[in-house]
Amino acid sequence: MSVEVPRRIVILRHAKADWPQVADHDRPLAERGRKDAPVAGRWLAASGILPDLTLCSTAVRTRETWKLFAHELPSRPKTVYEERLYEATLGELIAVVNETPDEIRDLLLIGHNPGTHALADALAGEAEEDARTRLDRVGFPTSAIAVISFTGPWKSVEHGVGRLEAHWSPRD
């Protein structure tokens, strides 16, 4: 593929999690999370974006979010459960994104804060005015989605490379 191929990364923070007496990695979704995840999936489906690949943290809450979210898409993209997304720093998230095969046009990454917010903020060198305002005002609550477009190979993804096309959360 040409290096000038338009690409998108869709960043999804897991839905609202419960706080039972279990290890953090094993926390399930709360009732609100089980309601919000399908709503987020419907929003993405309505946007016309169908990811070619989903990278999902191995945490229980992200896997549950993905299951409910994916059910709302017209078809389920290939999914890779990626251990490195759990508790990932911004640099670690960018490194994972950089490894995406170039045949992938649209990537969905499902992770955790503060990493998801940091990634959306760092990659968005430009932004649609209302999307930037929402990201700055509401941050990256549970079930939030950021859509960032850029051109070039995945290995070129770095700070400021993209354009924040949309920022959505169930509270919008």
Q: pLDDT tens digits for 9-53?
A: 999 999 999 999 999 999 999 999 999 999 999 999 999 999 999
Residue 166 pLDDT > 80:
yes
Residue 128 lies in domain: 6-168
1 in a structural domain = no
Give the SS3 label for residue 74: coil
| pLDDT greater than 70 at residue 133 | yes
Residue with tokens 């490195």: 84
> Is residue 133 in a domain?
yes
Q: Is residue 81 part of a domain?
A: yes
Report the predicted TM-score, pTM, of the whole model to 2 decimal places: 0.96
* pLDDT-above-90 percentage for the chain: 87
3-state secondary structure of 132: helix
Question: What does the pLDDT average to over 63-78?
Answer: 97
Residue 3 clears pLDDT 60, i.e. is over it:
no
Give the confidence band of 132 by pLDDT, cuts at 50, 70, 90.
confident
Average pLDDT, integer, range 141-145: 97
14 and 112 Cβ atoms separated by less than 8 Å: yes
36 domain-assigned? yes
61-90 as b/e: b if 16+ CB within 10 A: bbbbbbbbbbebbeeebebebbeebbebeb
Chain-wide mean pLDDT for the chain? 95
For the chain, the domain total comes to 1
- Classify residue 92: in a domain, yes or no: yes
Judge whether residue 172 has pLDDT over 80: no
**CATH code (residue 36):** 3.40.50.1240
pLDDT at 1 over 80: no
Q: What is the tens place of the pLDDT at every residue in 106-126?
A: 999 999 999 999 999 999 988
Q: Is the pLDDT of residue 2 over 50?
A: no
Backbone φ/ψ region at 17: left (φ over 0), alpha (ψ -120 to 50), beta:
beta
Q: What confidence category does residue 146 fall into, taking pLDDT thresholds of 50, 70 and 90?
A: very high
